[in-house]
Structures are given as C-alpha cells and as structure tokens.
A = this chain, B = another copy of it.
Amino acid sequence: MTDIKMVVAIIRPDRLTDVKRALSETGAPSLTVTDVSGRGSQPAKKSQWRGEEYVVDLHQKVKVETVVADTPAEDVVEAIAEAAQTGEKGDGKIFVLPVEDAYQVRTGKTGPDAV
C-alpha cells in the first residue's frame, strides 16, 4: 500500500503564497494552514518600546500541513523548502510524520485514495 505522510512546515507568513503555488505545481495542492508563533535556536531578542525594555521571543509564523500519498513526501518537502527560503535566520522547519489512515468525509473513501 502507498504510504501516507503528513508534511508539517512552519514558515514565514509572507512566503505562504509562493508555498501554495509550489505545492500546486508539485501535484499536492491540498493543505491546511494555521497561524502560529514560535522560536528556533536563536536566543530571545531584547527590544525597547517607549523606554521600556521587552523581550521578543516568539515570532509570527504560519504552519502548513499537507498530507500526501501518491506524491512522495520528499518532493513536497523540497517544493516547500525552495519556496520558503530567503536565506535569513528564521526561514523555518519542515517535519514529516507517518499517517496510518485517511478518510474523505463526503465520499467515505479511505486510505491513499482519500488523501
């Protein structure tokens, strides 16, 4: 049976349009988007506002989840990575998780056909 994978990408919000286009071009147009915030490996940044010091430690990001079966997860990862990259720190991370089953609510299809 074709494996099902969930590709979870945390990217810069302003790269979402390009990432959506890249996914469509890779043959994996379906996706779910969530507003998130987060931090990577950089230490928190101290800033000032009206003389008060405060710490910015969570940055606005967007989470893109794409479940795929026929399209290889590696192709999806590459498409997202290329579209999300600026070369600056904070470009994001992509994780691949195993999925045991899928179900399409309207049709009742299951497995890879439901993705």
Instruction: Give A41 Cβ to nearest chain B Cβ, in Å.
Output: 6
In the complex, chain B residues whose CB is within 8 Å of the CB of A106: 85-92
In the complex, chain B residues whose CB is within 8 Å of the CB of A63: 32, 34
How many copies, total?
A: 3
Pairwise interchain contact B57-A32, C-beta atoms closer than 8 A: no
In the complex, chain B residues whose CB is within 8 Å of the CB of A6: 95, 97
Instruction: Give A53 Cβ to nearest chain B Cβ, in Å.
Output: 16
Choose one: B33, B77, B100; the contact of A38 (CB below 8 Å): B33
Complex Cα distance, B24 from A57, in Å, reads: 12
Complex Cα distance, B106 from A40, in Å, reads: 12
Given A92-B105, A97-B97, A40 contacting B30 (CB threshold 8 A):
yes
Residue of B whose beta carbon sits closest to that of A33: B37
Task: Show the binding face of A for B, using Cβ within 8 Å.
Answer: 4-6, 10-11, 20, 29-41, 57-58, 61, 63, 67, 73, 77, 80-81, 84-106, 108, 114-115
